[in-house]
Amino acid sequence: MTRFTFIHAADLHLGSPLAGLASRDAEIALRFAAAGRRAFEDLVTLAIEGAVAFLIVAGDVYDGDWADHAIGLFFARQVARLDRAGIPVILVRGNHDAESVITRTITLPGNVLTFPTARADTHRLAAFKVALHGRSFPNRAVDENLSLTYPSAVPGWFNVGVLHTSCTGHAAHATYAPCSLADLRARGYEYWALGHIHEYAELSRDPWILFPGNLQGRSIRECGPKGAVAVDVADGRVSAVRRLVVDHARFHRLTVALDDAATERAAISAIEAALRPLAALAEGRLLAVRVHLTGQTAAHDRLAADREGLTAEIQAAAGRVHHDIWLETLKIETARPRAAAEGAPTGFSAAIDPATLLADIDRDPEFRARARAALAEIAAKMPAADEDADLTADLDALCREAEAVILGRLHGRSC
């Protein structure tokens, strides 16, 4: 009985800039950016140590055109390691590394087989009786159902389709080379190696149709373990699929309810307690955490009054938990307790209650119109670095935050 194993990876996005992190801490951003290269190095090592039959990368080797040749040289060095081990590498180009996108080139070793863009083609690996079928993207945006152009299965061989696609539709990703499960099943292949969707997803087991997810998370939108899959084949059938987790950094969302925290000190203690389990979750990797503070707390105004100081305190708390837990972003959506919200700060009469005055300003139509115009002007000058870039999306939330800053400073910094 013929047995072999191959690795299916996708969406390496080598050269990804991680702009969101860079704006907060350039040194940590560089470490996160290096994590993608280290993940691929580890995948190549696993392939060599496991003596796999071949490695598939189903699109988006690169994040876009190269600023220089460094990232191309890195990839060339890694596939040369596989070449020396006698392991073929099968590539399709996706939307990020489409033929029209990548303008620089580096000569790759002979073990790298890249599918053409003009038509679907077949690469045969006679030693394993494997026929691999694929087609690359000529341009970034491909709206054609490429799967319909793929050849029929080769009788008596193990057939693999390699395709970069938004198969079945995924809202978080742009629709490229759309197709249905019925389209893929109709080709008669034993396995479909898909790319483009950054989450691990098994779409079918008969035949196997699978997204391995990307090799390394790149932002808070891509949380959880990342890697590739090892596919075991026995007698012309898939016998097992195993995830290979190779990421060197992770992103995580953490919501902390501060209803029981009456002071800033108590709030920091609650946040540190919530961070503590993440040391085990990271499993020795870099971990970037988005902390979201919620709940009704008497410390609300003081927390919002000095966001910079609070951010530093949370990062210090993260450092006490683990040396490589980093605060990616702080989101403050706490509120005053209802009873406290009705009272004026000490030293102010009810007639000049700042909270009442600020609430009246927030409701003024002229103020709201001017505020929206100012926010739109600011937003137009900002790069859309992450999902929170739309400053005009929730004017009420921004007004509440500004109100809390003012009242917090009026209250003073005493706990």
pLDDT at 172 exceeding the cut of 80? no
Ramachandran class of 177: left when φ > 0, alpha when ψ lies in -120 to 50, beta otherwise: left
- Tokens 């006490």 locate to 320
Whole-number pLDDT of residue 305: 87
The DSSP bridge partners found for residue 158 are: 130
Closest CA to 122 of 196, 155, 113: 113
- What pLDDT, on a 0 to 100 scale, did the predictor assign at position 229? 98
Asked if 293 contacts 256 with a C-beta cutoff of 8 angstroms, the reply is yes
What global pTM score does this model have?
Answer: 0.83
Q: What type of residue is 12? A: L
* Other Cβ atoms within 10 Å of 77 Cβ, number: 13
Q: How confident is the model at residue 110 (pLDDT cuts 50, 70, 90)?
A: very high
| Average pLDDT over the chain, rounded to an integer | 87
Identify the helix (H) or strand (E) that includes residue 231.
strand 227-234
The yes-or-no verdict on residue 409 having pLDDT over 90 is no
Tokens of 110: 């002979």
Query: Is a pLDDT exceeding 60 seen at residue 32?
Result: yes
Distance (Å, rounded) from C-alpha 297 to C-alpha 340? 9
CA 214 distance to own-chain centroid: 8
Q: Which of 283-292, 314-323, 329-338, 378-387 is predicted least confidently?
A: 378-387
- Sorted by where each begins, the domain ranges of the chain are 3-245, 250-411
**Of 3-12, 125-134, 282-291, 398-407, the least confident:** 398-407
CB atoms under 10 Å from CB of 341, counted, come to: 14
Are residues 252 and 48 in contact, defined by beta-carbon separation less than 8 angstroms?
no
Token pair 């990062």 in the structure block, residue: 315
Q: What contacts 62, CB < 8 A, 6 or more positions away?
A: 12, 13, 14, 15, 71, 72, 75, 96, 97, 102
Range with the largest mean pLDDT of 100-109, 154-163, 344-353: 154-163
pLDDT at 385: 45
Say which CATH superfamily domain 3-245 falls into: Metallo-dependent phosphatases (3.60.21.10)
pLDDT classification of 354: cutoffs 50, 70, 90: low
Of 335, 356, 338, residue with least CA distance to 401: 335
- CA–CA dist 124, 238 (Å, integer): 18
Confidence of residue 377 (pLDDT cuts 50, 70, 90): confident
